[in-house]
Structure 1
Amino acid sequence: MITTVRKHLVDFCGERISVEIDKDGSKYTKFALLSEPCPQECAPPQLFTRENLIVLDSVHSGTGRTSGNDITVNVIEPVLRRLHARYQVVKSQNSKSVAEFGNQLDPTQSYTILFVSGDTSVSEFFNGVGAGVPSPRSSLTILPIAMGTGNALANSLNLNCPVEAFASFLRGELVTAEFPLYRAILPDGETSVVFFIVLSLGFHANLLHAAENEKYKSMGVERFQEASGDILQNYKLQEQITLDKQGVAGSYAYFALVNVPNLEASYIPSPQSDPFKHELHLLAYSSSLNRKQLLERIMAGYKNRRGDELTADPYTTYKRISEGFEIKLQNKQEGPNDPAFELCLDGQLYNLLQYKSDQHQEELTIQVELIDSALGSFDILVMGKH
């Protein structure tokens, strides 16, 4: 069922600019720009002070773009032109183009980048940013415009609606803060991945894999709920994990290190997480739970509210971690692509069997580092709402 709403965008030079939005479930189907005389004259929007403004549009994110729901073409570009803003639009061409763009940035310049995308594109970008530490450092400020599937980052920054996020940017209503980043070094000791949302093994990582099945591709965020039944029925969900220095060891069906409260707009598995704080929260459910008990705990995320305390019990581990540590995985391998070795980092999947330093290695170690808000030549900042 299609729902239609109208959102005020910005007032400028006697004109009130709004957007009509059509939505089918979680999927946006239309963005249409509207204008009418403004009841009062308003000051110019804040973006005129921003240099190197870039709109990075990952055109295949979410369910992709159509002529109706192309928010960059239908809303962002016309408004920026009308406001006489200087900007550049970059559209992704393939899975590597976002990372390649990140690597091409001038380290002596500062940038503001609007990510019209989901979480994966932001991750690809950060992992493409080149090395180098000039002095003084440049700043790289990001704003997520939620056009992906889960949109964990945007939802956790209270930027659920892409039009409202763009409107808040134009009106100068957003706060800008340091963006906590983390690095996972895989068992080969060479592969290093920057992440900022979630590192997971077990149910969550397997769910990301299952949701890539063609039968779920046309769905929005609903595909995760559909795919979860497949995981509960067909996956072993017994991750043998130890965290050094953290007093954590056991067999887990669900194991996630989370930096954000929301993994979807209405799904809050880690209510104590805060994307503005330099800390991760470990959320783990024991494999001793039967599948009904496990599902009840996982689905509780749809009832949680930010700031809630999770009820502690012998089958649930929930704790704050604010220092580096190692994850030791001691699974027994069953087949060449055993899903028990699937690692999710911000929506990107890595089968750890492909990252062994030694093919006879039985214990696999993932090093996790807190790297604050510095990446390559840039200080990374994020815009959002508290």
Structure 2
Amino acid sequence: MGILPMSDKFPLLVVLNPNSGTKQAREVWESIVQPALNKAQKPFTLIESVAQGYTQSYFSNNIKRIIIDLVQSLSLVNDEGNITRPSTATLQIMVLGGDGTVHEIVNGVLRGVEGTAFVSNEFRPKVELSIIPTGTGNAISTSLGVNGPQDALDRFLNGNTTPLRLMSVSTKTSNNLWEISVYTVVVNSYGLHCATVYDSEEFRHLGNERFRQAAMKNIENLKQYEGQLMFYGPLQSYNRSSASFVTAINTDNDDNRNDGLDNVTASLSGPFTYLLITKQASLEPGFTPTPLAHTSDEWMDVLALQNVGRDEIIQMFGATATGQHIEQEKVEYFKAKRIEMETPTQGRLCIDGEFLTIKGGYEGRVRFEVVPDVNTQIFGVYV
């Protein structure tokens, strides 16, 4: 009989978040996605999120079993009963939700396999995410140029993917070591952007409009946020004269507490009015704060405005739809691979729409990094 697969084709996992965005995910699933999957004879398993955090817990608790079943479906057995198992496997997950649901899946998968041999140099699965945009911002989909649920579905059926590079957010432990707190896929922010996302919860019923309402509230009562950014390793800065990124010149810095890492390349001393560290060009349709960012490359894009007033902020927002704000004098734009941040007093960071409170001073430092570990960078998205 030759070599035969041990089991049937493994199903697509479909994660449905009915509460994301304007709560359109179920309608999109029933009217567009499910009929197309049935027509394509694509088997699926539906996983419905019932509360915030459910999706992350689901994958954290079940990913090992899922990988075992996936490998089993791809293993081969010959006439003598000998089994050949693959060195890699591709898990397809379709997401009907927003960036927050993607964030939960990524962190659930990675926490579920942490400290195990389920992802290693000997066996490394790939996780391909088909994001059907039904969230509020849909930053990943917008950055990839996806024009709605049908376009996203067509891209999945065409089968082309690109890496979804993750950022890690690390904090100090009691013995002064770095520990990854969370992985992020969209944006880390401080200052006005963080305050806007935080205050937008009271306007959630307005959909995307909630961010504009919250931004207006915070601009009216504009604050400056004390803090310092330290860039380590390779750094590029946007040059308005050449309209391109150029390698930054190393600068002297009196901070010698590098924990054995590379020297500080440069620093921004603040105070910050607006600060973003992101992997996505757009955070929502019509808002492209880091227009030269790429989902799949190994850089974090950093947009900063230091100690500016209402006029400069309004001017910046007015040009973000086209990305022309990066030509404005007060806007600083960088590409970096590792950043540390320190605030003099307790501060709040926005981490993919969630919030992290950090202590003031050196002990409260936070590190942002494009994860170099190939056993963590296992995710891709359909393009």
The interval holding the TM-score normalised by the smaller chain is: 0.7 to 0.9
The structure-2 alpha-carbon separation of the partners of 1:303 and 1:179, relative to structure 1 and needing over 3 Å to count, comes to closer
Which residue does the alignment assign to 1:344? 350
Q: Percent identity?
A: 22
Whether 1:231 and 2:212 are equivalent positions in the alignment is no
Query: Is the 2:49–2:55 contact (alpha carbons within 8 Å) kept by the matching residues of 1?
Result: yes
Distance change in 2, residues 1:71/1:206 (3 Å): same
CA positional deviation for 1:374: 4.1
Query: Does residue 298 of structure 2 align to residue 278 of structure 1?
Result: yes
The residue identity in structure 2 corresponding to 1:343 is L
Aligned to 1:157, which of 141, 144, 168? 144
Q: Which runs of 5+ in 1 are unaligned?
A: 1-48, 334-340
Q: Once the 2 structures are TM-superposed, how far is the Cα of residue 316 of structure 1 from its aligned partner?
A: 2.3
Q: How many angstroms apart in 2 are the aligned matches of 1:50 and 1:142?
A: 18
Aligned residues: 309
Change (3 A) 1:185 1:56: same
What amino acid sits opposite 2:92 in the alignment?
A: T
Alignment of 1:285-324 (within 5 A): 285-287=305-307, 289-304=308-323, 310-311=326-327, 313=329, 315-321=330-336, 323-324=337-338
**Contact preservation (8 Å) 1:202, 1:252:** yes
| Corresponding residue for residue 92 of structure 1 | 49
Match of 1:176, as an amino acid?
T
Q: CA deviation at 1:369?
A: 2.5
Distance (Å, rounded) in 1 between the aligned partners of 2:325 and 2:292? 7
Contiguous gaps of at least 5 residues in structure 2:
1-7, 71-89, 232-263
**C-alpha deviations, 1:72-93, integer Å up to 9, x for none?**
1222222222332211111101
The CA distance in 1 between the partners of 2:266 and 2:328, in whole Å, is 16
Residues 305, 331 of structure 2: 8 Å contact kept: yes
* Contact 2:274-2:304 within 8 A present in 1 as well: yes
Alpha-carbon RMSD: 2.4
When the two structures are superposed, what TM-score results if normalisation uses the length of structure 1?
0.74
Alignment of 1:251-262 (within 5 A): 251-262=271-282
1:58 aligns with 2:58: no
Does residue 1:327 correspond to 2:316, yes or no? no
Deviates more, 1:129-138 or 1:85-94: 129-138
Match of 1:177 among 162, 165, 168: 162
Cα deviation digits, residues 282-335 of structure 1 (max 9, x gap): 100011x2112122113321232xxx682263x3211111x32321222x45xx
2:201 match: secondary structure: coil
Pairs within 5 Å for 1:17-56: 51-56=10-15
Aligned with residue 209 of structure 1, among 198, 206, 214? 198
Quote the offset at 1:363 in angstroms. Answer: 5.9
In the superposition, the TM-score normalised over structure 2's length comes to 0.74
Q: Tell me, yes or no, if the aligned pair for 1:187 and 1:352 is still in contact at 8 Å.
A: no
Distance 1:310 1:149 in 2: 25
Q: What does residue 196 of structure 1 align with?
A: 185
Shift in Å, 1:352: 2.1
Match of 2:28 among 71, 76, 96: 71
**Which amino acid is the alignment partner of residue 226 of structure 2?**
E
Tell me the CA shift for residue 253 of structure 1.
0.3
- 2:86 is matched with which residue? none
CA shift, 1:235, in A, is 4.7
Instruction: State yes or no: 1:382 paired with 2:351.
Output: no
Q: Is the 8 A contact 1:51 1:112 kept in 2?
A: no
